[in-house]
Amino acid sequence: MKTPAYAAFSPKTPLAPHTIERREPGPHEVLIDILYCGVCHTDIHLARDEWGGSVFPMVPGHEIVGLVAKVGPQVKKWSVGDVVGVGCFVDSCRECAPCRDGEEQYCEKGMVLTYNSCEKDGKTPTYGGYSTRITVDENYVLRIPPGMPLERTAPLLCAGITTYSPLRHFGVRPGDRVGVVGLGGLGHMGVKIAKAMGARVTVLSHSPGKRDEALRLGADDFVATVEADAFRRNAKRFDFLLDTVSAKHDYNEYLGLLRHDGTMVLVGIPEPTALSAGSLVMQRRRLAGSLIGGIRETQEMLDFCAEHKVYSDVEVIPIGKINEAYDRVVRSDVRYRFVIDIASLKQS
């Protein structure tokens, strides 16, 4: 099926209209008419080949919300008209230990990314949500609970699960003192989710001007890390740190903010930085990392967010403003995620 899309054709050229092929759904697949697609900073890194390995033409987008338009003959989970989501991956090997445990993001053979990847045949390219429809295996589709504002739900498929997963996995409990490092697309979701879990949340940011925003989002306190004595004053204060920053920073300074047996989890991927063993050893602290979440946990996150009315703060744009949006994301000029109204693509 010929499908309108927006694509990057090289690292140095703006995204532009494109037409891709989507297949009719196979026996266990569903065809989804896309309504909204969030814009993740990963889209920009890949479209501009900043990490290397980008494949062009590329149709980005892995924060997808839409309606089931057609189902394959053996599909059991979905019906036409269901409101569904698709996140960062659309398949995995299904056989390794992580896949069997519902942690497909850690698939030992490599998950099939929603875009800039190849399907399991090793040759068919995957194209993402900057398009009017997508065909996906029924087991890699998420149910969007009733009543969720769909444009504000789309970023949960990446930013939401990226922050929910470590908070959940490492056992954040009501009353825990949680610090969220960075207040951007990931950080603002970390604040909302940790607060909904009952934690006492503090935002740590190098931008003092974000104090009011942090408190508006639900944080109990704010620490401007550029202040000379910020790290000394807050030493051993936190049970848990969620580090969302992708710019290079000193992990040792932040580890010093953790109490005995505290945990710091990285979800951003900055340049390498030196780590002192003493930062961990002297207080039995832990430094860990976390990558999105599996299908089971992502569904759990969506249900949690629906129950607690936790949604992303978004600016909805037509597809024609995607290149401007990319530049604004790089300048941190968005509060806090752009979301594309795919109806604008159908009309272009």
Q: Say whether pLDDT at 203 is over 70.
A: yes
pTM of the model: 0.96
| pLDDT tens digits, one per residue of 67-87 | 999 999 999 999 999 999 999
Q: Where are the domains of the chain?
A: 2-156+313-347, 160-289
- Hey, how many other C-beta atoms are within 10 angstroms of the C-beta on 292? 24
Closest alpha carbon to 165 in 286, 60, 52, 290: 290
Cβ-based burial of 247 (10 A; exposed 0-12, middle 13-18, buried ≥19): exposed
| pLDDT tens digits, one per residue of 138-173 | 999 999 999 999 999 999 999 999 999 999 999 999
| pLDDT tens digits, one per residue of 224-283 | 999 999 999 999 999 999 999 998 999 999 999 999 999 999 999 888 889 999 999 999
Q: Please tell me the predicted confidence (pLDDT) of residue 272.
A: 85
Q: Say whether pLDDT at 348 is over 80.
A: no
Q: Please tell me the predicted confidence (pLDDT) of residue 318.
A: 98
**Average pLDDT of the residues of the chain:** 97
| pLDDT tens digits, one per residue of 89-113 | 999 999 999 999 999 999 999 999 9
Question: Is the Cβ–Cβ distance between 287 and 255 less than 8 Å?
Answer: yes
Q: Please tell me the predicted confidence (pLDDT) of residue 346.
A: 79
Q: Into which CATH architecture does domain 160-289 fall?
A: 3-Layer(aba) Sandwich (3.40)
Query: What is the topology classification, in CATH, of domain 2-156+313-347?
Result: Quinone Oxidoreductase; Chain A, domain 1 (3.90.180)
Q: Please tell me the predicted confidence (pLDDT) of residue 76.
A: 94
Output phi, psi for 68, to 5 deg.
-65, 120
Q: Please tell me the predicted confidence (pLDDT) of residue 271.
A: 85
The verdict on whether omega for the bond into residue 14 sits within 30 degrees of 0, i.e. cis, is no
Task: Please give the share of the chain, as a percent, with pLDDT higher than 70.
Answer: 100
Non-local CB neighbours of 19 within 8 Å, separated by 6+ positions: 2, 3, 4, 5
CA distance 206 to 59: 34
Q: How confident is the model at residue 305 (pLDDT cuts 50, 70, 90)?
A: very high
Task: Please give the share of the chain, as a percent, with pLDDT higher than 90.
Answer: 97
Which residue is it, tokens 């995957």?
A: 126
For residue 224, give both structure tokens: 């401007």
| pLDDT tens digits, one per residue of 318-327 | 999 999 999 9
Q: Say whether pLDDT at 195 is over 80.
A: yes
Q: What mean pLDDT do residues 38-64 have?
A: 97
Inter-axis angle of helices 185-196 and 295-308, nearest 10: 70
Q: What mean pLDDT do residues 168-193 have?
A: 97
Closest alpha carbon to 197 in 304, 306, 313: 304
Q: Please tell me the predicted confidence (pLDDT) of residue 69.
A: 98
